[in-house]
């Protein structure tokens, strides 16, 4: 019986650690906005969600995983500047971890789940809002319309 309590305590500690990490990312992470490529926002099995593809150009990454550097314009919209060797970045740049999944370059989650029946509302999404930690980990925090307003 004691083993069950110890296991439950370990699970709770791990979950709390993950929640704290996400909260720190939201508080201290840099906001980066990426253009989205159009994709169908429906799934019969999972319910309503939008498959996300980030518009990071067509340059081939040098490795299956690593760091890329995006340059932010005055509005915070990012464009791919280069793939990185972990060197320093300029003030108007941000380093983001990436991985290659098949032929797709991924920097954050590739789907966004939303309440059933709201597909039309989220079809207006043109940008993804990410928070990026100093180590380059990106977390999707929302979708934006063409005027960069939260959906």
Give pLDDT, residue 106: 92
Give the max Cα distance, the chain.
58
> pTM above 0.85?
no
- In sequence order, the β-bridge partners of residue 101 are 104
Mean pLDDT, rounded, for 105-130:
88
Confidence of residue 74 (pLDDT cuts 50, 70, 90): very high
Give pLDDT, residue 75: 95
Confidence of residue 46 (pLDDT cuts 50, 70, 90): low
CA 35, CA 39: separation in Å to the nearest integer?
A: 12
The more confident residue out of 129 and 84 is: 129
Q: H helices within the chain, ranges in order?
A: 2-28, 119-122
Give pLDDT, residue 77: 97
């Amino acid at each position: 019986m004691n083993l069950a309590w110890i296991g439950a305590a370990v699970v709770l500690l791990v979950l709390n650690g993950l929640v704290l990490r996400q909260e720190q990312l939201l508080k201290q992470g840099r906001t980066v906005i990426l253009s989205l490529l159009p994709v169908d926002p429906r799934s019969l099995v999972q319910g309503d969600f939008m498959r996300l593809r980030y518009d990071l150009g067509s340059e081939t990454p040098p490795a299956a995983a690593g760091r890329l550097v995006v340059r932010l314009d005055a509005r915070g919209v990012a464009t791919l500047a280069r793939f990185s060797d972990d060197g320093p970045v300029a003030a108007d740049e941000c380093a983001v971890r990436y991985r290659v999944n098949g032929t797709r370059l991924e920097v954050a989650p590739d789907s966004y789940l939303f309440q059933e029946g709201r597909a039309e509302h989220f079809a207006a999404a043109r940008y993804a809002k990410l928070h990026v930690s100093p180590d380059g980990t990106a977390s999707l925090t929302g979708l934006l319309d063409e005027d960069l307003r939260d959906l």
